[in-house]
Amino acid sequence: MVAAADPEPRERLVDRYLIAALDAGIRPLLVVTKTDLADPTEFLRHFEGIDLTVFRSRRDHMPADEIGAALVGHATVFVGHSGVGKSTLVNALVPEARRATGHVNEVTGRGRHTSSSTVSLRYRGPAGAGWVIDTPGVRSFGLGHVNPDHILDAFTDLAEAAKECPRGCTHLPDAPDCAIIEAVESGRLGPTAPGRLDSLQRLLVTFADR
């Protein structure tokens, strides 16, 4: 979860969540909250190349049933910076949860410390049931355990092309004879392939910089 504003969205943090999810075989969903405060369209362009379901949420229109439908039959963990609205959404999904919500003062770091625990709650909605896990905000997010091959696997057609790559290929723009880059440049992977290659390369660089 990210907020369109307050706190400002950071694409690098979302990238890190995506890497961890793709590595673990978790299907990522992205919820952008506070779209009443700012338009997230520009921010969301960063993720166009990624197979990612995006929901936009605002105080006066929380798409609880749409998001709820995506949770049915799954255990879904809500991650994101403190103050993005995780507990607010959890309360909309599970009214009896009564999770504490509020504003943490960004400058002093003090303020009402909200929902500092992680809890698992039963979601029951029109489309069925699932589990939602509300977490406190995170400040940092490690990727030490990630296998970069799993990042590539999330981009199915690029992973297929990569079978022709030289051993140890990084698939980054300077990689010699990278079969993914050649396939994308040839146009045979379709018009959206360059965007997906950009996203893949960004995630691989983020992973390499961890």
Ligand X SMILES: Nc1nc2c(ncn2[C@@H]2O[C@H](COP(=O)(O)OP(=O)(O)O)[C@@H](O)[C@H]2O)c(=O)[nH]1
Structure tokens at 205: 């660089």
Cβ atoms < 10 Å from Cβ of 145: 8
Least distance (Å) between residue 100 CB and Mg ion = 7
The SS3 of residue 111 is: strand
Least distance (Å) between residue 192 CB and ligand X = 30
Pick from 152, 176, 149: which is nearest to 165 by CA?
176
| Binding of Zn ion by 143 (CB under 5 A) | no
Least distance (Å) between residue 86 CB and Mg ion = 5
Cβ atoms < 10 Å from Cβ of 203: 23
Element containing residue 125 per DSSP (H, E): strand 119-125
Least distance (Å) between residue 175 CB and Zn ion = 5
Is the separation of the CB atoms in 198 and 206 below 8 Å? no
**Of the residues 12, 27, 45, 103, which one makes contact with ligand X according to CB under 6 A:** 103
Return the number of the residue (57 or 114) whose C-beta is nearest Mg ion.
114
| Binding of ligand X by 135 (CB under 6 A) | no
Using CB distances below 5 to 8 A depending on partner kind, what does residue 40 bind out of ligand X, Mg ion, Zn ion, none? none
Pick from 118, 108, 114: which is nearest to 85 by CA?
114
Residues in 187-206 at the binding interface with ligand X, rule: CB under 6 A: none
| Binding of Zn ion by 196 (CB under 5 A) | no
Pick from 103, 81, 77: which is nearest to 90 by CA?
77
Read off the amino acid at residue 92.
A
| Binding of Zn ion by 178 (CB under 5 A) | yes
Using CB distances below 5 to 8 A depending on partner kind, what does residue 165 bind out of Mg ion, ligand X, Zn ion, none? Zn ion
Which residues sit at the interface with ligand X, rule CB under 6 A?
Answer: 33-34, 36-37, 57-59, 80, 82-88, 101-103, 114-115, 137
The residues of the shown chain that bind Zn ion, judged by CB under 5 A, are 165, 169, 171, 178, 180
